[in-house]
Amino acid sequence: MSKNPRRRRTRGRRGTVRNVPLRTHWLLLTTLVLTLSAALLIQGYTQHLFDSRADGVERDRGSTSSVPPQIASGGPVIQGAAARTAAPAARTIALTFDDGPDPVWTPKVLDVLRRNDVRATFFTVGTRVAENPDLARRIVAEGHQIGLHSFTHTDLGSASPWRRSLELRETQLAVAGATGVTTPLLRPPYSSTTSALTDAEWSAVVQAGQEGYLTVLTTRDSEDWRRPGVDRIIANATPEGTGGQILLMHDAGGDRSQTVAALDQLLPKLKASGFTFATVGDAVALPEAVRPAGTAERWQGLALITALRTSDGFLDVLSWLLWVAGAISLLRAVAVFVAARRHVRMRRKPWGAPVTEPVSIIVPAYNESAGIEAAVRSLLASDHPVEIIVVDDGSTDGTADIVEALQLPGVRVIRQQNAGKPAALNTGIAAASCNLLVMVDGDTVFEPDAVRMIVQPFANRRVGAVSGNAKVVNRGGLLGRWQHIEYVVGFNLDRRLFDLAECMPTVPGAVGAFRREALLRVGGVSDITLAEDTDLTMALCRDGWRVVYEERAKAWTEAPASLGALWKQRYRWCYGTLQAMWKHRGALTQRGQAGKLGRRGLVYLLMFQVLLPLLAPVVDVFAVYGLVFLDPWRILGLWTAFLLLQVAMGLYAFRLDGERPGPLWSLPLQQFVYRQLMYLVVIQSVFTAVAGSRLRWQRMERYGSLQVPVGATGSAPPASAVSPAYPPSPLPPVSPGPEIERGWHEVGHPVVAQEQAPAPESTPGGGHYVDPGWAPHPSYYAQNQQPPTPTIYQDYR
């Protein structure tokens, strides 16, 4: 025994197979979703909570009663915790710039300052420092002083205490990461002079002082944010006396060409008037106005900048992907709609001469006691000559005993040890007498004309397989309705498109028909994948056969009635489909029918059943992001438009299938619950495939809801059509088709002989019986390895 029972290796047909617990993929998925959520929160906070109003914009002024008089009449540099102020020396101008750095205007401002040998103070916004760290470094490298102007240019006076701290701390880290220095200098956005301080603003100044920051207000506003013209900016910036000044200008926040032009004239003019320029720290003689950042602060700052820039790039890529995904989804809806209309017109033309030759029906069964009787009786009620072969794959619930106890003519039971569904199907294929085979799951009942309808496309010799129309029988409750919608709208509309494009990837196991010749040419049903129906269909396409959809061949199947059962079924389907896609990837480079499968079918599956579902959690998280940070009405409008498109497709699909549209009322709920479940199934399947693990053929729980349909054509079988109890009641005689002489198909397989022979006395009311003494022509053994099945005779009295 392995020391670790949760991790072991087994030997399979293809060598070593890993059976590992698949928990790491959920951890990885959770991590990815949390990372995405964090990126969106950062993006939402920095971009959509950014206050882009100009600093001097008119605002409602609040109370000023709590502002100390010495502050209101004091200097522009404030130590809030101690309620002290400082002012520049006479004839000293501290030139300050707010809102940057800006990639266009900050370099031009720096160039003007360098030409005039002037040092200034730049109060920078944290998010813009993260966007332009090279400009922040240039500011410091050229001898200018750097200060803080909050992280998102928010009004600190109206912000909560926790947000004030966050705004200042994150801005400080951004500056430390970009420049390697920290600064205590702070200019709150929307501030002006000390005399204009309100109670709320003073509260922010006090909190900033307690956290170690000096608040720098202004004495003169150039009002360049108004763009009043170069002359007006110069006039506003020129002192009226000789007192020291802290002058406000801007190097970001819009077009600053007037500011740059005004600086070129203002600086020489003020110098000529006897004024000197200094940074804020030098103007008020502050010790250590800027100091080197610690190692921890530097690395934290670099991490913050990296996170911000990464989230920006990630969101840019994501936005493009979502636009592309939306456009592709819309084109898909249009393509499916157009294809469905063309398919309807195309199917009005007959395939050729009516196909009347008998059919072998293979029913692989594993623990199907709940529905096997209804399934077999529905098949015997077909209006087409059939033989039925039930292959019991080692059932433990008496499935084979139930079928044998029915004593139905024309029904054979083959018992075998449990070997999986592919092996059961291959056993049935070997035992079948007919050239046309129908494969049906043990949880499915056929309508009386389903067999006749599904074999009509074989009038075309190119057709190697036919997909029927599988419908959900247990459609009660939300889960049943959602699966009903999925079968009608998703599966069947897609099959019409695949049929038209000649790239059908799957003939469902519930209702499918095949040429025996085609099956033998591809080696029968493979057990390499879990989706044996998809694998087989792709193999037939690659062998040059045409696979079509016959919507008139209707069969009713049990759908999972619990989320757990649904998860297991869809997990197996999706994982098996991925296996089949990988196995048949060579079709991408082939020509003819195989190339159509590869370049049409496989690409379609990859795009709409793998890649888009993988993006689905991103779409959902992005929708929440939009509701919180963007225009919620716009997001709701887009979702409503998408829902209306789904409803329109649903109404059209239901109309094509002859279904009542009532269940479509649950479509909005389906988008919130069922859709997410299906996406998670795809995600788990992809991780399972990448991990190299294998799953076993899993049996779905049966509920006994199957009933023999009596004339059901477009709705669920009525409740009155309950399967008869033992012993069976006499079956009506089967209408004869054209007589077929005992003979051979062109590839050497016997067909059912229809003869005017009397039925045994044990056969009530006519029907079928088997002649055990029949022997095939000797040429049969020259072309077949398996022994033939005794001929089935049919009585037409």
Give the residue numbers annotated as catalytic, written as ranges.
98, 250
Tokens encoding 46? 């920095």
CB 468 within 8 A of CB 395: no
Helix axes 133-141, 105-115, angle to 10 degrees: 10
Cis peptide before 133 (omega within 30 of 0): no
**Beta-strand pair 436-439/512-515:** antiparallel
Closest to 97 measured CA to CA, from 204, 235, 205, 224: 224
Over 691-722, what HEC string results? HCECCCCCCCCCCCCCCCCCCCCCCCCCCCCC
In the numeric block, the tokens 């887009």 are attached to: 638
In the numeric block, the tokens 């619950």 are attached to: 673
The count of C-alpha atoms lying within 13 angstroms of the C-alpha of 243, restricted to the half-sphere facing its C-beta, is: 11
CB 365 within 8 A of CB 758: no
- Single-letter code of the amino acid located at 612: L
Tokens encoding 21? 């617990």
Q: Give the H/E segment covering residue 124.
A: strand 121-124
Helix, strand, or coil (residue 446):
strand
Backbone angles phi, psi at 775, to 5 degrees: -130, 140
Sign, CA torsion 9/10/15/18: negative
**Cα Rg for the chain, rounded, in angstroms?**
39
Residue 774 and residue 790: Cα distance in Å, rounded? 6
**Beta-strand pair 8-12/15-19:** antiparallel
DSSP 752: -
Cis peptide before 727 (omega within 30 of 0): yes
Residue 146 and residue 124: Cα distance in Å, rounded? 7
